Amino acid sequence: MSVSRTSQAVAVTRAGFDRPHSQAGDPQAQLRLCAGMRSRALDHMRASLAARTAFFDDQVTGAIAAGIRQVVVLGAGYDDRALRFRSPGVTFFELDHSGTQADKRARLHAILAEDESAGSPAAGEHAPVLAAADFTSDDVAVVLAGAGHDPGLSTLFLCEGLLVYLDQVGTVRFLASVRGAAAAGSLLAASLVTHADGLDSDAVVARGNARRRTAGAEPWRTILPAAGQSDLLARSGWRIVRAVDAADLGTGADPGRSLLVTAEPAG
Ligand X SMILES: C[S@@+](CC[C@H](N)C(=O)[O-])C[C@H]1O[C@@H](n2cnc3c(N)ncnc32)[C@H](O)[C@@H]1O
The site for ligand X (CB under 6 A) is made up of 4, 6-7, 10-11, 75-79, 96-97, 100, 133-136, 160-162, 165
CB nearer to ligand X: give 77 or 237: 77
Least CB distance to ligand X at residue 166 (A): 6
Residue pair 192/259 in contact by the 8 Å Cβ criterion: yes
Burial 70-93 (b: 16+ CB within 10 A, else e): bbbbbbbbbbbbbbbbbbeebbbb
- Closest to ligand X by CB, 25 or 161: 161
Closer CB to ligand X, 134 or 248, in the complex:
134
Residue 86 in contact with residue 32, Cβ under 8 Å? Answer: no
CB of 197 to ligand X, least distance (A): 25
Burial class, 66, CB count within 10 angstroms (exposed 0-12 / middle 13-18 / buried 19+): exposed
Measure the CA–CA gap between 236 and 179, rounded to whole angstroms.
Answer: 7
Q: In this complex, which beta carbon is closest to ligand X, that of residue 69 or of residue 173?
A: 173
Task: Give me the least distance between CB of 57 and ligand X, in Å please.
Answer: 11
**Please, what is the minimum distance in Å from the beta carbon of residue 119 to ligand X?**
30
